[in-house]
Amino acid sequence: MPPETLIRPCLPGDEHALALVGQATFLETFAGLLAGPDIIAHCANAHAVALYRDWLADPDYQLWLVETPQGRAPVGFMVVAPARLPLPDLSPRDREIKRIYMLGKFQGGGTGKKLVAEALAHARASHAARLLLGVYAGNAAAIGFYERVGFGKLGSRQFDVGGQSYDDNIMGMSV
């Protein structure tokens, strides 16, 4: 059984924890699939402290941090924002889980389901039509999780890391 976790809304000042967990989970997930220098370069841009600081200051973004009860160490997070996915029927009312990251040691204990419930509650409060996300098409475990909590495949997109294109599934559910 994975260790217990706590979920809380992020606050200004959490950007360093978000960047650290983002980089660690990306490395944990994609080491062995992507080249090390490509992972490092991607994380320097996609998980920069300044990016998370900007998202925390943007009222269109909502972020949650997952921490350990003892010591409050950051072990995961989620970002929900206006949807920007290549779907022909994308609506301004759609919301997107831009990131839902959790260190492997803490997966499987129900925290992911709680995060999705938070995202759904936020989407409903925002009067969203759908909750969408993109997930690497080769990540069967993540796709299986999203299917179990009610997401279905709506399309696909290409995701670039280090000049290489990878397939992502675009998944969604009605809110």
Geometric angle at alpha carbon 142, from 140 and 145, rounded to 5°: 105
Q: Which domain does 119 fall in, by range?
A: 6-132
Domain-embedded: residue 170: no
Nearest CA to 22 among 84, 60, 65, 57? 65
Those residues with Cβ within 8 angstroms of residue 130's Cβ, 6 or more apart along the chain or in another chain: 83, 91, 93, 94, 95, 123, 172, 173, 174, 175
Quote the pTM value.
0.95
Domain-embedded: residue 138: no
Mean pLDDT computed over every residue of the chain: 96
CA atoms of 128 and 130, how far apart (whole Å): 6
pLDDT of residue 1: 81
Give residue-wise pLDDT tens across range 43-90: 999 999 999 999 999 999 999 999 999 999 999 999 999 999 999 999
CA 111 centroid distance within chain? 13
Q: The domain spanning residue 128 has which CATH number? A: 3.40.630.30
Count of domains forming the chain:
1
Kindly tell me if the per-residue pLDDT of 152 is higher than 90: yes
pLDDT of residue 164: 87
